[in-house]
Chains A and B, each alone.
Chain A
Amino acid sequence: MRMIPRKQMEELLSAYIGGAEGLPEIDMDGQIAFIEEYFRVGSPELSWLFYMCNTALRIVSFIYMRRSFSRLSQQERGDLLNTISSSRNPLIRGLAVLLGLPIFMSYYRREEVSVPLGFDPRALKEEANLRTVSRDRELPPKKEEPS
C-alpha cells in the first residue's frame, strides 16, 4: 500500500465515495490507515493488484477522457469510474471493482456513516448481550434401536 502516493489515494477515495446529502465527509487518514491494514492481513496479491489497477486507471483516464486522472474534477472522476464500471470488457470493469472494494468498505464501516443509515452495531450488541440461551434438551437416538 505504501507504493501508492497519498495524493493518488486521496483522489481515489474522493472519486469513489463522492458525496450525497446526509453522508459525512471522507476521513482520509482513518480510511487510508484502514485500507493499509486490510491489505496487510489479507491476500498478498490483492495489494499488488490494487497498485496495478490504480496505474491502469490512470492510463484508462488518458484514453477515455484525454486527461490525466489527477486533472479531472471529482465529478468527472466519478463519471469515468461509472463508465468503466459498465464496460462489457471484464478487465476494464475489474479495475473499478477491485479499487472500489477496500475504498467503499473503509467509508461505510465508520459508525458515523452506518448509524445514520440505520445500522448501529453498538446498540445491537448491547441488546444481544442481555440475552441468555440455554442448550438443555433430550436428544433422539442416532442409530436404530435393536429390536
Chain B
Amino acid sequence: MIVGLADINSDVWRSADVVIIGSGAGGGPLARELSGEGYSVVVVEEGVHFTREDFNINPTQAYTRMYRDACQTITVGMPFILLPLGKTVGGTTTINSGTALRMHKPVLKKWHLTHGLTDITEAELNLLYSHLEEFLFVKRADPEVAGKVANTFLEGAEKLGLSCGWLPRNAKECEGYGSCVFGCPSGSKQSVDVSFVPDAVNNGADFYTCCRADGIKLENGRAAGVTGFFVHPESGKPTGQRIDIEAQVVILAAGAVYSPYFLLQRGLANSSGQVGRNLQIHPAMQVVALFDHPLSPPKGIPQSSYVDEFKGEGIMLEGGTVPPEIHSLTLPFAGNKHASLMTQYPNMGIFGGMVCDCDSWGRVVDSHRPGYRPTMLYFLKGGDVRRAKDATVLMAEIWFAAGARKVITPVAGHYEICGARDLKRLERSRMKVSDIFGMSAYHPLGTCRMGSDPEWSVVKHTCETWDIPDLYICDGSVIPSSPGVNPQLTIMALAIRCAGFIDGRLGGES
C-alpha cells in the first residue's frame, strides 16, 4: 500500500527483506521486481504520492509540489545552471518528458575499457531494454499528435539533410496535452508512479511517503535497515513521527544528487573518496523561433522529435514546447519589448539542444546549507561551451530552414538572429561561458559510480557498495559516464539487473 502522512499517527517499526530509499527510476523497478519475487519490500519516499487527478497542468503548482525546492535547484559555478529534480512518488520520471532511448552503443564499450564493467554485456542490456520497452509501452511519438512546433522543426532539419526523427517515448495513446513535465494528466505517460509502483503495491510492497531517511543501520559492518522521519510536504519540517525498518538488504535510490549527499552526510561507503565526485549532467540551450503563422504551442508532445546528426560530437537536439510562464523566461528581454514578443507566443516555437557527452565534471558536496540541501558545483569547460554554441547555431539554422522570421538565442551579444548574416556572426564568435544568458541541465549522473576498482568507484557492477555489504545504490548516480541520451531507460535496466543479484543474495546464491 501507499502510506500517506494522514495515515501516520505514531512511530513506525517495520521489518522487511528489502528497504529502498527513493521511488524513482531506480527504486520503483527494484520494488516491483523484488516484491514480484515474493520478498517483503518497504520503500521510503520523501515526496508525496500524486495521481493523474492531481496533475492539473499548472506549472507553478507542479514546481512547488513535485520538484525539489520548487524547481529552483541550481548548480554553483559558471554559468549557473538550473537542474530540475523530482520529489514525488516516481521521482523525476513523474515530471520528465517521457523520452525512452537506449544508451548509445559505444558508451558500453567505454564502460568496459575505462571502468572495467565487462560483466555488463550488450546482449544482457538489450534484453532488459526490450523488456522495459514492452512494459512501458515505448513507441515513437505520433507525428499527428506531436504538434506543429515539432513537425516544423523536423521539416527544417530534413531540408538540411540532417539525421532526425521521432523520439521513442514511454507513453501509451498519448494525445499531446503538452504537459509531461507537470505530471501527465491523462495517464498516458508510463512514469514509475503509474507503471512499476502499482505493480509493486499489488505484490505487497509498502511505500511510506513524506518520509525522509536519516540513517542506515549497520550490524557487524553490514547494512541492516534504515531509520527516518516523516516530514510535512510543504515545509519539509519533521512531523515528530519516526520510522525504523530492519531489513536484510538496503538500497539507496535517491538519485544522483541526493544519494551521494546522504552518504556524505553520514560518512558512509566513501573509502574511495569518489562519493559525490564525477557529477555529469546534460547542459542544454534553448532556441526560440518566431514565425509568421501560428504553431500553437504548447499543444502537442513537448519532447517528441530529435536531431542526432552530431551525436558523435556530443550534441543531441530534443525539443520542446512549454507554456507561456516558462516560455517567458527564455526570452532575454524585459519591459515592452518582452511583452510584445510574448503576444506572439502562438507563433513561436522552441527547441532544446543538449551537450550529451560532456568534458566537464562537477561535484555534489555537503556545504551545510539550510535544510536538507546539497550544493552542486559545476563549471562548464571550453569544449562543452563550444558544443553548446554549435548546438545553438544548428538549431537556428534548422529554424530558418523551416521558415522562421527571427530566432532568439540565449547567447549575449547574439540574442536576436534575423538572418544569415547574424547567424554567420554567431557562428564565427568565440562564445565564452559567461556569454550564456540562461542554461538548464538534466540527467545528473555518476556521483556514486560503478566500476571494477574499489579505489576509483563506489559500487560493484552488481550495484552493491564496495564498503558495506548488503548496501546497494541503484539510480543515476551509479552510471559511470553519460549514456549519450536521456538515461531513464538505462537506470531502469540496471535496476532490474540489480534486482537479480539481490534475489540471488536473499535466495542464498551468493
Query: Does any Cβ of A come within 8 Å of B73's Cβ?
Result: yes
Query: Does any Cβ of A come within 8 Å of B172's Cβ?
Result: yes
Query: Does any Cβ of A come within 8 Å of B359's Cβ?
Result: no
Contact B339 A15 (CB under 8 A): no
Overall SS of chain A's interface? helix
A16 to B177, CA, bound (A): 29
Knowing A82-B333, A86-B412, A133-B172 touch, does A42 contact B72 (C-beta < 8 A)?
Answer: yes
Contact B56 A125 (CB under 8 A): yes
Contact B177 A124 (CB under 8 A): yes
Q: Quick one: CB contact mask for A103-147 with B, threshold 8 Å, 1 for yes? A: 011011100011001110100110111011101010111111000
Query: Does any Cβ of B come within 8 Å of A5's Cβ?
Result: no
Residues of B within 8 A of A137 (CB): 134-135, 137
* Interface size bracket, B side: 35 or more
Query: Does any Cβ of A come within 8 Å of B434's Cβ?
Result: yes
Query: Does any Cβ of B come within 8 Å of A9's Cβ?
Result: no
Query: Does any Cβ of A come within 8 Å of B506's Cβ?
Result: no
A8 to B337, CA, bound (A): 21
Query: Does any Cβ of A come within 8 Å of B58's Cβ?
Result: yes
Residues of B within 8 A of A79 (CB): 335
B321 smallest CB distance to A (angstroms) = 10
Query: Does any Cβ of B come within 8 Å of A34's Cβ?
Result: yes
Q: Quick one: CB contact mask for B416-447 with A, threshold 8 Å, 1 for yes? A: 00000000000000000011011000000000
A34 to B59, CA, bound (A): 13
Contact A41 B345 (CB under 8 A): no
A22 smallest CB distance to B (angstroms) = 5
Knowing A15-B334, A15-B335, A18-B334 touch, does A93 contact B328 (C-beta < 8 A)?
Answer: no
Contact B335 A105 (CB under 8 A): no
**Which residue in B186, B198, B297 is a CB contact (below 8 Å) of A133?**
B186
Residues of A within 8 A of B486 (CB): none
Interface size on A, residues (CB 8 A): 64
Contact A125 B57 (CB under 8 A): yes
Residues of B within 8 A of A30 (CB): none
* A85 to chain B: closest residue by CB: B332
A139 to B496, CA, bound (A): 14
Contact A117 B342 (CB under 8 A): yes
Contact B72 A46 (CB under 8 A): yes
Instruction: Tell me the chain B residues, 47-85 only, with Cβ under 8 Å from chain A.
Output: 52-53, 56-60, 64, 69-74, 78-80
A26 smallest CB distance to B (angstroms) = 11
Overall SS of chain B's interface? loop
**Which residue in A43, A44, A118, A143 is a CB contact (below 8 Å) of B74?**
A43
Contact B373 A43 (CB under 8 A): yes
A27 to B82, CA, bound (A): 27
B87 smallest CB distance to A (angstroms) = 11
Knowing A20-B339, A41-B70, A108-B328 touch, does A133 contact B173 (C-beta < 8 A)?
Answer: yes
Q: Which of B125-133, B449-457, B466-474 contacts A (4 or more CB under 8 A)?
A: B125-133
**Which residue in B60, B73, B325, B335 is a CB contact (below 8 Å) of A81?**
B335
Contact B413 A86 (CB under 8 A): yes
Query: Does any Cβ of A come within 8 Å of B500's Cβ?
Result: yes
Query: Does any Cβ of A come within 8 Å of B304's Cβ?
Result: no
A75 to B494, CA, bound (A): 56
Contact B345 A118 (CB under 8 A): yes
Q: Quick one: CB contact mask for B180-215 with A, threshold 8 Å, 1 for yes? A: 000001111010001100100000000000000000
Residues of A within 8 A of B127 (CB): 141-144
User: B residues bordering A, Cβ < 8 Å?
Assistant: 52-53, 56-60, 64, 69-74, 78-80, 123, 127-128, 130-131, 134-135, 137, 172-173, 175, 177-179, 185-188, 190, 194-195, 198, 234, 294, 296-299, 323-329, 332-340, 342-343, 345-346, 369-371, 373, 412-413, 415, 434-435, 437-438, 496, 500
The 7 A-B residue pairs with the shortest CB-CB distance in the complex, in nearest-first order: A78-B335, A81-B334, A20-B339, A128-B185, A18-B335, A42-B70, A121-B57
Given contacts A109-B325, A121-B56, 18 further A-B contacts (CB under 8 A): A17-B335, A41-B69, A81-B334, A85-B437, A87-B412, A89-B434, A105-B326, A107-B328, A108-B325, A117-B343, A118-B294, A119-B345, A128-B57, A137-B134, A139-B135, A140-B130, A142-B128, A143-B127
**What are 17 inter-chain pairs, A to B, with CB distance below 8 A?**
A20-B336, A38-B64, A41-B64, A41-B234, A42-B64, A42-B71, A85-B334, A88-B434, A89-B434, A107-B328, A109-B58, A113-B324, A117-B343, A128-B185, A128-B186, A133-B173, A140-B134
